[in-house]
Chain A
């Protein structure tokens, strides 16, 4: 079964570009200036393979794109580590060159955080900032692990509410 490629190309780009970009940024660190190029390269590889019929529908299209993305990232890192003395540091939380949309979202999150009740702030601080496990947070606060999950989930829900237009 061959996907109807031609008509779907535009749709494909729109759908997979952000996903590929996310995956690439996570692997290389958002401040890596090669990210954009790599994403474009991966997308054109995907399109090429689709057009030459290399995708035969054995797996889902998402998995096909995922595989191409992962391979390209591996190749990229391999090229880089040959010349770099140190392996690239995984940079989990850099301030990326953020898109306007993300910057706006981040502002809303900040607003939501500052409005949270202290108990929610504390649990978010320990869980996300200090990166303690739920069990550690529970011990720290003297509550059950389940309670920690509830607090985190509820805090996230409150933040998400703020993000809704």
Chain B
């Protein structure tokens, strides 16, 4: 049986990565194509099982870190101090470009799919810190202020929602009990949503991942 061209959209659809247009096209398609719908259902169970049982896949963590350690050793053995410094400067430049210059470019306004036919266009929120890997558990989270009279909702995830809070400031201090739940070596992500005075969603940040490096 030949493969249906829509099959490639299954993962994107289930992981909410499709554009609104592709999403709608794919939805209409699976109402018409029983083969794709069957595969979609099956993939949904597979992905949900993975999402709910990451431990089944994670236990090989040590292999991964030993591979990384090996790589680090290799890198160290063929780079001189000077080359290393040069690499550092280059990396810094790249980071400046990525974090400071590119966001100023014309990033398309994100669509919030409040409904499936109505997408609400809103602006995006720039997350300031943490956006890269951390040496220790971050004590506060900061993002760019959008304006006055805005309520921000921050969520921290470790696969599921670890903590959620609202504030009118553009930064928030992490309570100790949440810090206590965060573990070095683990990856977390966070996201901020902004709500106007009447409670409508006006902006959403992207979900940024950071890792707290193991000591």
Task: Spell out A's residues near B (CB within 8 Å).
Answer: 15-16, 18-19, 22-23, 27, 60, 62-63, 65-66, 69-71, 73-74, 77-78, 81, 85-87, 90, 92-93, 95, 102, 105-106, 109-110, 113-114, 118, 121-122, 124-125, 127-131, 156, 159-160, 163
Q: Which residues of B have CB within 8 Å of A114?
A: 56
Asked if residues A128 and B50 are in contact (CB atoms below 8 Å), the reply is yes
Interface bits B12-39 vs A (CB < 8 Å: 1, else 0): 0011110000001001101111100100
Asked if residues B60 and A118 are in contact (CB atoms below 8 Å), the reply is yes
Provide 22 A-B residue pairs closer than 8 Å at the C-beta atoms, listed in order of the A residue.
A18-B41, A19-B30, A19-B37, A22-B37, A22-B41, A62-B31, A70-B24, A70-B116, A74-B118, A85-B195, A86-B199, A87-B114, A95-B52, A105-B45, A109-B50, A110-B53, A114-B56, A127-B11, A128-B47, A129-B50, A156-B43, A163-B42
Whether B115 sits at the interface, judged by CB under 8 Å, is yes
Asked if residues A129 and B54 are in contact (CB atoms below 8 Å), the reply is yes
8 Å CB contact of A23 from B27, B32, B47: B27
Assembly CA distance A92 to B41 (angstroms): 14
Assembly CA distance A15 to B32 (angstroms): 10
Q: Which residues of A have CB within 8 Å of B201?
A: 86-87
Assembly CA distance A92 to B15 (angstroms): 7
Assembly CA distance A77 to B49 (angstroms): 27
Of all chain A residues, the one with the shortest Cβ separation from B117 is A74
Q: Which residues of A have CB within 8 Å of B112?
A: 87
Q: Which residues of A have CB within 8 Å of B11?
A: 127-128
Determine the main DSSP class of B at the interface with A.
Answer: helix
Whether B1 sits at the interface, judged by CB under 8 Å, is no
A-B pairs, top 9 by smallest CB distance, nearest first, are A62-B32, A66-B31, A62-B31, A125-B57, A93-B51, A109-B49, A85-B199, A118-B60, A121-B57
Asked if residues B46 and A109 are in contact (CB atoms below 8 Å), the reply is yes
Q: A73-B115, A74-B116, A92-B15 are in contact. Are A22 and B40 (CB under 8 A)?
A: yes
8 Å CB contact of A106 from B30, B41, B48, B209: B48
In the complex, besides A22-B30, A124-B50, A125-B50, 8 extra interface pairs with C-beta distance below 8 angstroms are A22-B44, A86-B195, A95-B52, A109-B46, A110-B53, A128-B51, A156-B43, A160-B42
Q: In the complex, how many residues of chain B place their beta carbon closer than 8 angstroms to a beta carbon of chain A?
A: 50
Of all chain B residues, the one with the shortest Cβ separation from A121 is B57
Q: Which residues of B have CB within 8 Å of A65?
A: 31
Q: A66-B27, A95-B52 are in contact. Are A128 and B15 (CB under 8 A)?
A: yes
Asked if residues A110 and B56 are in contact (CB atoms below 8 Å), the reply is yes
Q: Which residues of B have CB within 8 Å of A113?
A: 49-50, 53, 56-57
Q: Which residues of B have CB within 8 Å of A70?
A: 24, 27, 116-117
Assembly CA distance A15 to B43 (angstroms): 19
Cβ distance B210 to chain A, nearest Cβ, rounded Å: 13
Whether B88 sits at the interface, judged by CB under 8 Å, is no
Asked if residues A131 and B15 are in contact (CB atoms below 8 Å), the reply is yes
Q: Which residues of B have CB within 8 Å of A130?
A: 187, 209
